[in-house]
Amino acid sequence: MRITPPFLPTVATVDLTALTHNLSQFRQILSPGCEVMAVVKANAYGHGAIETSRTLIQHGVTRLAVFSTEEGMALRQAGITVPIVVLGPVFQEQFGDVFESQLTPVVSDPSMLTALAQTAASRAIPYPIHLKIETGMGRLGLTQDELVALIRSHKFPPSLRVEGLMTHLADADGFSSDATEEQIRRFQDALKVFLEGGFQVPLVHMSNSCGAVRFPSTHFSLVRPGIMLYGYHTLPSTVETPDLRPVLSLKTHIAQLRTIQPESTVSYNRTFTARRPTRIAVLPIGYANGLSRRLSNRGAVLIRGRRAPIAGLVCMDMVMVDVTEIPGTAVGDETVLIGQQGNDEITASEIAKWTDTIPYEVLCAISPQIPRLYLSS
Q: Distance between CA 152 and CA 350 in Å, rounded?
A: 51
- 374 as an active site residue: the answer is no
Residue 127: active-site member: no
Pairing of strands 306-309, 300-303: antiparallel
Give the helix/strand (H/E) hosting 151.
helix 144-153
Candidate list 41, 45, 132, 230, residue with the active-site label: 41
Backbone angles phi, psi at 146, to 5 degrees: -65, -40
Rounded to whole angstroms, how far apart are CA atoms 27 and 35? 8
Q: Kindly tell me the burial class for residue 63, based on how many C-beta atoms sit within 10 Å of its own C-beta (0-12, 13-18, 19 or more).
A: buried
Can you spell out the DSSP letters for 193-221? HHHHTT---SEEE---HHHHHH-GGG-SS
Residue 334 burial (CB count, 10 A): 12
Name every residue whose Cβ is closer than 8 Å to that of residue 327 and which is 6 or more positions away in sequence.
Answer: none
| SS3 (DSSP) at 100 | helix
Q: How many CA atoms lie within 13 A of 308 on its CB side?
A: 30
State the catalytic residue, choosing from 155, 192, 268, 353: 268
- Cα Rg of the chain (Å, integer): 24
Rounded to 10 degrees, what is the CA torsion of 113, 118, 122, 128?
A: 0
User: What number of CA atoms fall less than 13 Å from residue 250's CA on the CB side?
Assistant: 26
C-beta atoms surrounding 229 within 10 Å: 27
Hey, which residues are catalytic here? 41, 268
